[in-house]
Amino acid sequence: MPSRVPATLLFFLASILAMVAAETIPDPIFSDRFEFQPLFEDCPDCPTMVLIPAGTFTQGSPASEPQSSSSERPQRTVSVPAFAMGQTPVTFAQWDQCVADNGCTRNPSDNGWGRGDRPVIAINWNDAQEYVTWLSVKTGQNYRLPSESEWEYATRAGTTGRFNTGDCITADQANFQATFPPQGCPAGVFPGQTLPVGSFEPNAFGLYDTHGNVFEWVQDCWNADYDGAPTDGTAWMTGDDCSSAVGRGGAWGSFGFRLRSAYRTPGSRTLNSTSFGFRVARSVDL
């Protein structure tokens, strides 16, 4: 699993210099929050975590965003407290440790693509809850799935475009079905399987694979839109369908528009799909 602090820092600095050169900061209410965040692990087998600073952002997409959906609206301002986020999706190696410790019951197939540092797949929402419970007991810390607001806030990392890479994303920036790229973006190759985590550049917070590779479960119940959604960064645990949760980020087999920062899709909590994995979050006291 990558822990390339110097490379991430260089990427972060390059991103900031580019914005300064263009005399643009992505989101004025977020501009004072750009500072490199430290990495940490709570145990040798634990995911590497990135400290995400508190901040305020606009969640969702405007109606003018190409290929957007009414489920991503109405846009609203959300204030997110500081928390920690997994640097990558949970890998097979990390999941297999939970199985070996009898903390996780499912032993999913890798679909012939390889285990190790590839993201664990065919994990449903309930399985992910077993993992965060095991990790919490193991470390004495409060591990959980991120809320939908935390996920989008961390994925955007201060950006307001369709992707944290700008208004386009390509096969050089994420793993997806790039033969069907986002509207107005160039086509590319389609690997047809997951890739090892950290195969592409991270976002400005140092998070890898926030677009593509696997859809990531978040904590929230599925709601058809954001009408009445929390604005404090917490998970929305009531509403239209709490037998379904929300998947974020797009996957290895997704068309390009599904990788958008605002894209969201429902999935039964018992869904086991090669397109679904997850990323952990952890509460912090600052």
Stronger pLDDT, 220 or 29, i.e. the higher one: 220
What residue segments make up the domains of the chain, in order of their start? 5-283
Cα–Cα distance measured from residue 15 to residue 98, given in angstroms and rounded to the nearest whole number:
36
Q: Give the pair of three-digit tokens for residue 225.
A: 């839109």
Give the relative orientation of helices 92-100 and 125-139 as an angle to the nearest 10 degrees: 70
pLDDT for 105 beyond 90: yes
The confidence score (pLDDT) of residue 246 equals: 98
Cα–Cα distance measured from residue 67 to residue 270, given in angstroms and rounded to the nearest whole number:
28
The confidence score (pLDDT) of residue 222 equals: 98
pLDDT in tens, 221-237: 999 999 999 999 999 99
Q: List, as one string, the DSSP characters of 105-146.
A: ------TTS--TTSBP-S--HHHHHHHHHHHHHHHSS-EEPP
Picking from 203, 200, 198, 233, the residue whose alpha carbon sits closest to that of residue 219 is 233
Instruction: Establish how many alpha carbons lie within 13 A of residue 236's alpha carbon, considering only the half-sphere containing its beta carbon.
Output: 21
Percent of the chain beyond pLDDT 70? Answer: 87
The confidence score (pLDDT) of residue 35 equals: 44
pLDDT in tens, 163-216: 999 999 999 999 999 999 999 999 999 999 999 999 999 999 999 999 999 999
Q: Are 122 and 276 in contact (CB under 8 A)?
A: yes
The CATH superfamily holding the domain 5-283 is paralog of FGE (formylglycine-generating enzyme) (3.90.1580.10)
The confidence score (pLDDT) of residue 12 equals: 40
Secondary structure percentages of the chain, helix, strand, coil, to 5: 20, 20, 60
Cis ω before 74 (30° cut-off from 0) = yes
The confidence score (pLDDT) of residue 255 equals: 98
Place of tokens 């019951």: 105
Confidence label for 38 from pLDDT (cuts 50, 70 and 90): confident
Cα–Cα distance measured from residue 117 to residue 114, given in angstroms and rounded to the nearest whole number:
8
Average pLDDT over residues 60-72: 98
Cα–Cα distance measured from residue 237 to residue 196, given in angstroms and rounded to the nearest whole number:
32
Average pLDDT over residues 118-142: 98
Cis ω before 202 (30° cut-off from 0) = no
Q: Are 271 and 280 in contact (CB under 8 A)?
A: no
Which letter does DSSP use for residue 10 in this model? H
The confidence score (pLDDT) of residue 123 equals: 98
> Which range has the worst mean pLDDT, 19-33, 55-69, 118-132, 140-154?
19-33
The confidence score (pLDDT) of residue 285 equals: 83
Question: What pTM, to 2 d.p., does this model score?
Answer: 0.87
pLDDT in tens, 72-94: 999 999 999 999 999 999 999 99
